Amino acid sequence: MKLTPIQIGVLIISGLIAFSMAQSYPPEFFDNFGVIVFAFLGGLGIYMLNTKKEVSDNVAFILLWIAEMGLIVDFSIVLN
């Protein structure tokens, strides 16, 4: 999958937003996001298992975005 310039821009901007949020809110605030992320990934896994179609690039991009946000936030929390 090759990222488009728009997707790269979204990743950079959302990374900056996630970093600033990690600096502004207590770690407990992000526990709520963990529940949402795991629910999303669980639903996505069920969807992928129940369909015979290949997964689109948009789904791969969403997973990449979620992973980026999680890494940035968790890494910032660990450093503080």
Q: How far apart are CA 54 and CA 27, in angstroms?
A: 37
Angstrom distance (rounded) from CA 31 to CA 37: 10
Residue 38 lies in a domain: yes
Within a domain: 74: yes
Token couple for 67:
């992973």
- In the three-class reduction of DSSP (H, G, I as helix; E, B as strand; rest coil), residue 66 is classed as helix
User: Is residue 13, in this structure, part of any structural domain at all?
Assistant: no
The pLDDT tens digits along the chain (80 residues) read 687 888 889 888 888 888 887 788 777 776 667 667 777 777 777 777 677 777 777 777 777 787 777 777 767 766 66
Token code pair at residue 45: 């896994």
Tokens describing residue 40: 């999303």
What's the domain range around 55? 29-80
Tally of structural domains, the chain = 1
In sequence order, which ranges of the chain are alpha helices (DSSP H)? 5-24, 31-50, 57-79
Whole-prediction pTM value? 0.50
Is residue 59 situated within a structural domain?
yes
